[in-house]
Amino acid sequence: MPEREAGVRAPRWESAVSEHWSWRPEWTPERRMWWWYATFEHDATMQRLAAEARRTIRPWAPVDLIPTRWLHLTLAEVGYASEVPLDLAHRCARTAAADLISVPPVDLRIGPVDIMPGAVVLRVASPALEGVRRRLVAASARELLRPPVQLPFDPHVSVAYVHRDCMRVDVLGAHLPEPCELIDTGELVDRDWRPGQAGRTRLDHVSLVEVVRDQRHYRWTPRCRISLDGRRPAPVDGR
């Protein structure tokens, strides 16, 4: 096959997708890690959108589907539990809660389906979400001696992780969904939502979670929840 001319981009379906689990090889199953997540265990809209997004994945695609209970949007890293003990993590949470006391719930625009390096995702757009993240990062920076370097913020909710290097067409196919009009939640999502569209939901809390990465999945225990309505953080583990 002749080489592609310089400066000519490959079609989207020809682009390469990398294995997700090669990221951070030092994060072994024995190591727990603190993160700030937006979680959606009680969000029926997000769960419906994620279910529809999973249906766009090819049946033979090399992916690990993410169960509904583990859907999340990563906001900020806090650090490994071996380096940030529980009491220090809770101090970060208390400082973050004070910074977020005047922040109302955040509206999220969810979709369309896309592929990022290593994952099939629902893109998320929200001007206010960046402000929430900045406050979380700043709180950790004030409490931690060596705060982690944060990745660039590209908000999304993953629905599947790619478990080997492949091409985009191997996961979603050549006819990838494109963005189109915004629709409302409720019955329209059930009957009329398509992967190229975007739905809406509202985020009313963020959670400090202790995450384990094992057997090609992430699982976590929530340790502190901050409501985006001015309430104090509420420990959920009895400590």
Domains in the chain: boundaries: 16-21+30-235
Model confidence at 111, pLDDT cuts 50, 70, 90, reads: very high
Cα 163 to Cα 222: distance, rounded to the nearest angstrom: 26
Sheet holding 156-162, edge to edge: 63-65, 156-162, 119-125, 106-116, 199-203
User: Could you tell me the pTM of the whole model?
Assistant: 0.83
**pLDDT for 186 beyond 90:** no
pLDDT at 197: 58
The pLDDT tens digits of the residues spanning 53-98 come to 999 999 999 999 999 999 999 999 999 999 999 999 999 999 999 9
- Phi, psi at 98, each rounded to 5°: -65, -35
**pLDDT for 192 beyond 50:** no
Pair 216, 229: CB distance under 8 Å: no
Q: Which fold would CATH assign to domain 16-21+30-235? A: Cyclic Phosphodiesterase; Chain: A, (3.90.1140)
**pLDDT for 232 beyond 90:** no
The pLDDT tens digits of the residues spanning 144-183 come to 999 999 999 999 999 999 999 999 999 997 555 444 333 3
